[in-house]
Chain A
Amino acid sequence: MHAQQQFDVIVVGAGPAGSSAALVLARAGLRVALIERGEYPGAKNVSGAVFYAPGLLAELLPTFWDEAPFERYITRRVLTFLGRESAFSLDFHTRHFALPPYNGVTVLRPKFDRWLAGKAVEAGALLITSTVVDDLLYEGERVIGVQCRRDDGALYAPVVIAADGANSFLAKKAGLQREFSAEEMSLGVKEVLRLGVRTIEERFHLTGDEGMASEYVGEATGPIKGGAFLYTNRETLSLGIIVQIASLAQQRIRPYELLDRFKQHPAVAPLVRDGVTLEYSAHMIPEGGWQLVPRLARAGLLVAGDAAALVFAAGIFLEGMNFAVASGLAAAETALEAHRNSDFSAATLSGYRKRLEQSFVLQDLRRFRLTPAFVNNERLQNLYPELLCQAAEQVFRSEGRPRKKLGSTILTTLRSKVSLWTLLRDGWQAGRALFF
């Protein structure tokens, strides 16, 4: 075995999970290989993308906000229920999210991922790009390295961190993750449109580096289960749809047609008007939630980020990057501890799960474990947004006739399509999924 093929830790995948793990490990003085199949970190990666809780990085990079390639910080959050021809929005502004480290910032992954991986390299990690890891190497039950797809491609380390994203072949090969069903996975399809700084500020009522994160449900994805998003970057918009794969197949509508439909909606078209499409992209998202989280470790191996389905997708929330960073950090700390004790057994590495259980990562996923099923409720997806818009129309309509009281207007609209019993049951489920 060549000396240079032996590392202390091998991290597969230079997304947010892998790069933050590599950064911590390299800082601690370990020999770290960070292996990425893309030409550069971020080349294969797609997010909406709002990076929530960026303060997670402050521990590692105390003034990261001065140098990280962020687009805008989020001070405006909008949730819109789209009907066929109407829209009902909850629009929230706050200056309280305008101070570093910020509550959420928009990023472009090819830039952001490259920057974060660069930080790991500065700390001493060896970044190996354009290299696919095809398999894990074992000694008995213990993972002892990885097999890269190239001549002489075996690399060895007593701990491997698989941070290889939603399509994690490594977690599956190691017997930790199973095959996914089309109900558990979503497809995100996105376009980046150039509008210019001035237009974005004016159109979205923003000043300086403020930004908006806007999510849409209902008619946004027609009869297909899912939602849509529109985020402001510095001079571009990121917009896209996220749809359940099974639902897409059943309804027989192509994702790009759906995206076009969203762009053409009367409430959306004026926002994207004159935008020049710069890029079209797509990626899978493990949105199954708690039930998709696999065993997270075995001897010599830890799984982090999307590879472990650590994505918080609960209706109004879609957070994966911060979950990826937090799990990457927890994986790195676990690997450090294993090195201190020279013990890479499954028992020691199971400390990783405990760390995640103490952090928001597994707590949020567990607490909101009923939400994916609730969010996929047919009525919530298609009926209620439309009814909400209809009720609003009744409330705001002035016809020169006596009005009914609001409660009776709303109830009449809802009950025209759903029984009181169903309404109550859905209300109860909404409560269980999101409120209590």
Chain B
Amino acid sequence: MQELASESVVTQPIEERLELVRFKVDKRPHIRVHTEACRGCDLTPCVYVCPAGLFEILGGEMHFSYEHCLECGTCYVACERKAIEWEYPRGGWGVSFRAS
């Protein structure tokens, strides 16, 4: 969609939005990506569906972080190669919504 890039649309960087959200980050990741499977994945749905923008292909390699995960489960449903191992964070850890 061309007009997304146009100047009339002011987009707020996702990082700024995530700063408004409370995360209690566990050292143990609750999501693992088997990145071998990502090589050759053309559509890379995870990159486009994650509402926190946590998946990025850089230089042909999958880069992923779990710290600001909103725990929606969308990436896991979208990845057809089943490369994403997903579980809930430990009880009490992860995201806590306050104003929604």
Residues of A within 8 A of B (CB): 37-40, 42-47, 49, 108-110, 129-132, 134, 148-150, 166-167, 169, 180-182, 185, 187, 189-192, 222-223, 236, 238, 245-246, 248-257, 260-261, 264, 277-284
- A252-B48, A279-B21 known; A284-B97 Cβ under 8 A: no
A281–B21 touching, CB < 8 Å: yes
- B100:A190 contact, CB within 8 angstroms: yes
Q: Are B18 and A280 in contact (CB under 8 A)?
A: yes
Q: Which of A39, A252, A280 contacts B96 (CB 8 A)?
A: A39
Interface centre among A129, A185, A249, A250 (most CB of B within 10 A): A249
Complex CA gap A257/B12 in Å reads: 8
In the complex, the answer to whether A264 meets B8 with C-beta atoms within 8 Å is yes
Residue of A nearest to B53 (CB): A254
* Contacting residues, chain A, for B58 (C-beta < 8 A): none
The reply to whether A39 and B92 contact each other, CB–CB distance below 8 Å, is: yes
Judging by beta carbons under 8 Å apart, are A260 and B9 in contact?
A: yes
Contact between A281 and B74, CB atoms less than 8 A apart: no
Residues on A with C-beta less than 8 A from B77 are 180-182, 185, 245, 284
A-contacting residues, B1-42, CB 8 Å:
1, 4, 8-12, 14, 17-18, 20-21, 24
Q: Is the CB of A279 within 8 A of B73?
A: no
In the assembled complex, the CB of B74 is this many whole angstroms from the nearest CB of chain A, namely: 5
Smallest Cβ distance from A3 to chain B, in angstroms?
Answer: 23
B74: nearest residue on chain A (CB-CB)? Answer: A187
A38-B96, A46-B97, A182-B45 are known contacts. Are A277 and B9 too (CB-CB below 8 A)? no
B70 engages A282 (CB within 8 Å): yes
Q: Give min CB distance, A45 to chain B, whole Å.
A: 7
Secondary structure class of chain B's binding surface, majority of residues: loop
Measured between C-beta atoms, what is the minimum distance from B91 to chain A in Å?
Answer: 4
A171 to B88, CA, bound (A): 15
Given A187-B74, A255-B49, A255-B51, A45 contacting B97 (CB threshold 8 A): yes
Assess the A279–B90 pair: CB atoms within 8 A.
no
Nearest CB of A to B33, in Å: 16
Residues of A within 8 A of B43 (CB): 249-250, 252
- Chain A residues, Cβ within 8 Å of B80: 182
Q: How far is the CB of A223 from chain B (nearest CB, A)?
A: 7
Number of interface residues of B (CB under 8 A): 42
Give CA–CA (A249, B21) in the complex, Å. Answer: 25
Bound form: Cα–Cα A217–B23 in Å: 32
Nearest CB of A to B67, in Å? 15
A60 to B50, CA, bound (A): 39
B11 to chain A: which residues have CB within 8 Å? Answer: 256-257, 260
7 residue pairs, one from A and one from B, having the closest CB atoms: A130-B92, A249-B45, A282-B51, A279-B99, A280-B17, A130-B91, A43-B96
CA distance A178 to B52 in the complex (A): 26
Provide the bound-state CA to CA distance between A264 and B3, in Å.
12
Pairs A–B under 8 Å by Cβ, sample size 21: A37-B88, A39-B96, A42-B97, A108-B99, A109-B100, A187-B72, A191-B17, A192-B99, A245-B49, A248-B48, A249-B45, A249-B78, A264-B10, A278-B20, A279-B21, A279-B98, A282-B51, A282-B52, A282-B74, A283-B70, A283-B72
Q: Is chain A's interface secondary structure helix, strand, loop, or mixed overall?
A: mixed
Chain B residues near A190: list those with CB within 8 A: 100
Are A249 and B48 interface neighbours, CB within 8 A? yes
Evaluate whether A37 and B17 lie within 8 angstroms (CB atoms) in the complex, with A110-B97, A252-B48 already known: no
State how many angstroms separate the Cβ of A188 from the closest Cβ of chain B: 8
In the complex, are the beta carbons of B91 and A280 less than 8 A apart? no
- Please measure, in the bound complex, the distance between the C-alpha atom of A182 and the C-alpha atom of B11, giving whole angstroms: 26
Residue pair B10, A284 in contact (C-beta under 8 Å)? no
Question: Which A residues touch B9, using CB under 8 A?
Answer: 260-261, 264
Q: Which residues of B contact A279 (CB under 8 A)?
A: 20-21, 97-100
Docked pose: A272 CA to B43 CA in angstroms: 34
Give, as a whole number of angstroms, the nearest-CB distance from A357 to chain B.
28
Instruction: Give chain B residues whose Cβ lies under 8 Å from the Cβ of A278.
Output: 20, 99
Chain B, Cβ-Cβ closest to A43: B96
Interface digits, B42-75 against A, CB 8 Å rule (1 contact, 0 not)?
Answer: 0101001111110000000000000000111110
Please give 8 more A-B residue pairs, beta carbons under 8 A apart, in addition to A43-B97, A190-B100, A256-B11. Answer: A44-B97, A149-B90, A182-B45, A187-B49, A248-B45, A249-B43, A280-B21, A284-B74
B83 contacts across to A, CB distance below 8 A: none
Inter-chain contacts of A132 with B (CB < 8 A): 88-91
The answer to whether B49 touches A248 (Cβ under 8 A) is yes
Assess the A282–B17 pair: CB atoms within 8 A: no
